[in-house]
Structure 1
Amino acid sequence: MATQQHAHRSPLLRAEGPWALAVHVGLLLAVTIAINGFLFAIGWARPGRQMPMIPPGAVVGLVWTVLLGLMGAARWVYVRGSGDSGWRSWTPFALAALCIAYPFYTGGLQRNAAAFWGTVLTLIVAVAVMLVLRGRARRAPWLIVPTAFWGGYVLSVMIAYPPA
């Protein structure tokens, strides 16, 4: 019955076909690259005062590119492992949307209260996504763990070195 209910959905949404993983990962990578291009174009991505203990901006950008790709892969693994393409399967993309929005609500990656609480929220949502995915596909949450570790690291640096 469940397969008949979702039979009208595309193979991509059901994570089927030879290109499904590439499209899940590629979609988030393309959005990330487009948003970063926009941020550079409007001048929000210009180098500012470097936060202590955080790698240079290019490395941080690479880290986030990998993390967002892993979020796309997490959805693919979840759907492939559980057969569920409902709301739970989209939680990695919701986490990705929160991460992609970060520069906008922090005013161009400025160290401020919005950045601190945005990092806290990202960490909480990452853990929630892991818990949601864990219920039906045991491998999918492991692809979100690096995001939680990165969020925890950044949060610890923000606590240790608050903005002046």
Structure 2
Amino acid sequence: MQTEPLALKSPSLRVESAAALAVFSALSAGAAAMGAVATNGATQRWYRRLKKPSFQPPRAVFGPVWTVLYGLIAVSGWRVWNQPAGIARSRALSLWAVQLGFNTAWSWLFFGKHRPRSALADVTALMLSVGAYMAAARKVDRPAAALVAPYLGWVCFASLLNEELVRLNR
């Protein structure tokens, strides 16, 4: 098992590795941007009217937290990509893409479509897919798996928030 990305050991692969980091960063930033689009002004009015749980963080917390998490998601995927090709790496990268898809879908379901129950099903799938990605990434690059541990923790918290929002707004 590698702990240092393969591309960092070979100068000839550094340009390719930098391009890959840019792609993983762009994909993560794209997911963030799509989530931001889903939370437009009309949606914010809808959300403000919902009953919130007492443990709801202030609105100002979400932007900085998600900025850090998307950065960690990108670097984690890049580290896995930099390891030698094989079934374990392919599985981890597939799960990386799956979790990012569920991540993006949540914002559209919850904010875009105003469907908290559907978003709850999605965030449950997101939680499971992040856990599966972590397990798969750990077999390829342990630091890559560790990088997404805060993300899994936040998604678990987001799941609890989503569940309470559904319960309070039946």
Give the structure-1-normalised TM-score: 0.71
CA RMSD, 1 decimal: 3.0
* Aligned equivalent of 1:163: 168
**Alignment pair present for 1:70 and 2:72:** yes
Deviations 1:118-161 (A, max 9, x none): 22221111111111111122211112211210122223345566
Pair 101,21 (structure 1): closer, same or farther in 2 beyond 3 Å? same
What residue in structure 2 maps to residue 152 of structure 1?
Answer: 156
Structure 1 residues 4-153: aligned runs within 5 Å: 16-37=16-37, 39-40=39-40, 43-46=42-45, 47-48=47-48, 49=50, 50-84=52-86, 86-106=90-110, 108=112, 110=114, 112-153=116-157
The percentage of counterpart residues that share the same residue type is: 22
Could you say if the C-alpha distance between residues 126 and 15 of structure 1 is closer, same or farther in structure 2, counting changes exceeding 3 Å?
farther
| Contact 1:72–1:93 (CA under 8 A) maintained in structure 2 | no
- Which structure features the higher share of helix residues? 2
Q: Is the 8 A contact 1:79 1:89 kept in 2?
A: yes
Following the alignment from structure 2 to structure 1, what is the Cα–Cα distance between the partners of residues 154 and 113? 16
Partner of 1:6: none
Question: 1:7-36 deviations in whole A, cap 9, x for unaligned?
Answer: xxxxxxx99333432442233214422541
- Name stretches of at least 5 consecutive residues in structure 2 with no aligned partner: 1-13
SS at 2:168 equivalent = coil
Checking the alignment, whether the CA contact within 8 Å between 2:106 and 2:119 is kept in structure 1 is yes
Contact (CA 8 Å) 1:111, 1:163: kept in 2 or not? no
C-alpha contact 1:67 1:146 (8 A) present in aligned 2: yes
Q: Secondary structure at the match of 2:54?
A: coil
Q: Equivalents in 1 of 2:82, 2:121: separation in Å?
A: 34
Amino acid in structure 2 at the alignment position of 1:95: Q
- What is the deviation of 1:66? 2.4
Q: Give CA-to-partner distance per residue, 1:82-112, whole Å, 9 cap, x none.
A: 4456343232232112111112223537573
8 Å Cα contact 2:31-2:103 kept in structure 1: no
Larger RCO: 1 or 2 (CA < 8 Å, sep 6+): 2
Q: 1:29 to 1:122 in 2, by over 3 A?
A: same
Greater CA deviation, 89-98 or 28-37?
28-37
With the length of structure 2 as denominator, give the TM-score of the two structures. 0.69
Name the CA shift for 1:106/1:15 in 2 (closer, same or farther; >3 Å). Answer: farther
Aligned pairs, number: 150
Structure 1: segments with no counterpart, 5+ residues? 1-13
The CA distance in 2 between the partners of 1:131 and 1:38, in whole Å, is 30
Q: Residue 45 of structure 1 contacts residue 108 of structure 1 at CA under 8 Å; is this kept in 2?
A: no
Tell me, in whole angstroms, the C-alpha distance in 2 between the residues paired with 1:64 and 1:109.
Answer: 21
